[in-house]
Amino acid sequence: MQSDWLYIGIFLLLAPIFPGAAILIPRIIAPRKPNPIKQDTYECGLETYGDTYIRFKVQYYIFALVFLVFDVEVVFLYPWAVAFDVIPLFAVFEGILFIGILIAGLFYAWKKGVLEWA
């Protein structure tokens, strides 16, 4: 029992050292030669002119969020689909309900015009 806690204690002591070393070692050994060109904002190799602030439509962000939601849901459906032949009937109905909720959400986003780019 005591040795289990010893391993946890050693882990807790050593865990901050690795990310700390990854941050501190480059600061120590990296060359530093700052100049105005290196400090300038890089914009695809071209000098910026005019106002570089561009307002994007909120619709692009909502489209990305809808994609992210459905992408994450696939991660939840994959184990269910792999074990489809061994899960009980109740779990099958739960999966069908889950897919139905996803389809309802997709239909709602479609009706709201979130999936339109123009």
pLDDT in tens, the chain (118 residues): 677 889 999 999 999 999 999 999 999 999 888 888 777 776 666 666 777 677 777 878 888 888 888 888 888 888 888 888 898 988 889 888 988 988 898 898 889 887 777 6
Assigned domain for 49 exists: no
Question: Does residue 103 share a domain with residue 69?
Answer: yes
Q: Which residues contact 70 (CB under 8 A, 6 or more apart)?
A: 102, 106
Contact (Cβ atoms closer than 8 angstroms) between residue 78 and residue 26: no
Cβ neighbourhood burial of 115 (10 Å; 0-12, 13-18, 19+): middle
Task: Give the model confidence (pLDDT) of 88-118 as tens digits.
Answer: 988 889 888 988 988 898 898 889 887 777 6
Structure tokens at 31: 């060359």
User: DSSP 3-state assignment of 16?
Assistant: coil
pLDDT at 45: 66
Task: Quote the domain boundaries for residue 105.
Answer: 58-112
Q: Is residue 99 part of a domain?
A: yes
Could you please report the per-residue DSSP string of 22-51?
HHHHHHHHS-----HHHHSPP-TTS---S-
Considering the domain architecture, whether residues 107 and 80 belong to the same structural domain is answered as: yes
Residues 67, 106: one domain?
yes
